Amino acid sequence: MTRLNLVLLLAVLASALYLVNVQYASRRLYTEIDRAKLDARRIDTEREQLQIEKRAQATPLRVDKLAREQLHMRVTTPAITHYVTYAAPTAEAAQSARRPQAQGRVQ
């Protein structure tokens, strides 16, 4: 009878130690989950702030200001505009362009 009591006492102690270990592990995992959720919220907040900054940097007024100050660009006016016109080649220029090709052919 005393052996049975001793075995049962050891089984109860082992199960109690196992229970304590499982509770400790579950608390540790729960805190890790909580930290991961906090990190996810922080990252989402940071992403939103970066998107707001990106939108603020790309406003037309800011782009115009940077173009004027850093790239020294200016608005075009007819006074500084150079127009390129296309002149159709004359018949004489077209024939002279064809002659070297005709001479190079072997008949």
- pLDDT tens string 61-97: 888 888 899 988 888 777 877 778 888 777 777 777 6
pLDDT at 48: 97
- pLDDT tens string 5-49: 999 999 999 999 999 999 999 999 999 999 999 999 999 999 999
Cα Rg of the chain, angstroms: 42
pLDDT at 75: 82
pLDDT at 100: 58
pLDDT at 39: 97
Please check the confidence at residue 1 and state whether its pLDDT lies above 90: no
Instruction: Using DSSP, state whether 63 is helix, strand or coil.
Output: helix
pTM of the model: 0.49
Residues 106 and 100 sit within 8 Å (Cβ to Cβ): no
